[in-house]
Amino acid sequence: MASLIEPPLVTPSAALARIAASCASRGIRLTATRRLVLGLLLEAERPLGAYLLMERLRATTRQAVSPPTVYRALDFLARERLVHRIERLDAFVACAAAARDGGGHAHLHQFLVCRRCGRAEEIHDPAVALALSGAAGQVGFSAHRMTVELEGECARCAAPKAEPRHQPPT
């Protein structure tokens, strides 16, 4: 059985170059601000909210950055399926599939959100999406968008911490 977890990202700079090339080939304009926001998300270890992105943009560019600028960039990147919004956290992550192959395609995804460290792992299980669509259809509901977020603890946070070894006196 194939892994449901998206493979690890390539380096952020390689992913950004791959995405930029894909956007250019599709005639999609990846402005400097959009590119910077996407780069920050690719480098981040956990989802980032718009205001934290704004602070990091200010630090990177050493220029004033307004909230609408960041929100417009995020809206564009989400529309182009290059980033995903984690609703529970009101934050964004770079799309693992886009980082791997350049993006520009729809795919069904789910997120495992760690309540301790805040990381969000993107997984892809078509059976989950099929089950939810089927259940919705049984009650006459037509789903237009589907985001599944499971909250819990990641393997790193759930792992038992090693007890310090007691050293006998010397």
pLDDT tens digit sequence for 109-120? 899 999 999 999
> What is the pLDDT averaged over residues 147-166?
82
- Cβ contact 84:93 at 8 Å: yes
- Cβ contact 110:131 at 8 Å: no
Q: Which residue has the tokens 């999609």?
A: 28
Three-state secondary-structure class, residue 109:
coil
Residue 99 has pLDDT above 90, yes or no: no
Name the maximum alpha-carbon separation found in the chain: 74
pTM of the shown model: 0.82
Confidence of residue 6 (pLDDT cuts 50, 70, 90): low
Element (H, E) at 122: strand 120-123
